[in-house]
Amino acid sequence: MSKMRLMLGLALAVALTGCASKVEYRDATEVETVDVSFGSSDLQAVASKMVDSMLTTPSVMMLTNDSRPILFVDRVTNKTSEHIDTESITDTISTQLLRSGKFRFIDMTKVDAVRKQLDYQNHSGLVDPSKAIQFGRQVGAQYMLYGNLSSIVKQDGSTKDVYYKMTMRLMDLDSGLIEWADEKQLRKQKSKSLFGM
């Protein structure tokens, strides 16, 4: 009986070892198609498309020909039914544009932190007044970059189809004119087999 238990125990241990999970590093730019939800490949595709389009549009090329306009990037609005980290999309686009060397940026998400630091420097009595950064000396943005991510989801039986559309615009804050706009569309479809695989 004990021999039988030992054999069963070994068989169970081997079976459990075979079910162990495995974690490995993968190429972050590799296409991921785990499901039809918005994923890393989609984020990279929309960010690259928007940045390439913006940098190669004649009106933007004229703006950046002999100066580096100052932008602020408003967070992309999520108009889908999914929870999507649009801050990550916004950050990727901002980073790629900044790395192009064509623009300078103002980070509106840090205004309160900057205000606290300037208040500390100017009113705490702990900072040498000749070395404190003064209020009212920051440069304002000339352009605002903003966008929306929307989706249409359709399901028919075992087939699910998701259409995503990313739209972005560059606005001249002085005139209110739109200097550039573009969109990127993605469509993903998932079908289940008869066996649910």
Q: How far apart are CA 41 and CA 186, in angstroms?
A: 11
Token pair 């162990």 in the structure block, residue: 20
Average pLDDT over residues 168-190: 93
Average pLDDT over residues 123-139: 85
Task: Please choose, from the candidates 108, 93, 106, 113, the residue with its C-alpha nearest in 3D space to the C-alpha of residue 47.
Answer: 93
> 182: which DSSP letter?
E
Domain 36-106+141-191 belongs to what architecture? Answer: 3-Layer(aba) Sandwich (3.40)
Q: Quote the pLDDT of residue 29.
A: 60
pLDDT tens digits for range 106-116: 888 888 888 89
Res. 167 pLDDT band, cuts 50 70 90? very high
Task: Give kind and range of the element (H or E) at residue 162.
Answer: strand 159-172
Q: Quote the pLDDT of residue 100.
A: 95
The four Cα atoms 171, 174, 99, 48 give a dihedral, to 10 degrees, of: 10
pLDDT tens digits for range 20-61: 667 665 555 655 565 667 777 888 888 999 999 999 999 999
Q: Quote the pLDDT of residue 192.
A: 75
> 140: which DSSP letter?
P
Task: Please choose, from the candidates 56, 43, 53, the residue with its C-alpha nearest in 3D space to the C-alpha of residue 90.
Answer: 43
> Burial level of 84, CB count in 10 A (0-12/13-18/19+)?
buried
Q: Quote the pLDDT of residue 133.
A: 86
Task: Give kind and range of the element (H or E) at residue 53.
Answer: helix 40-56
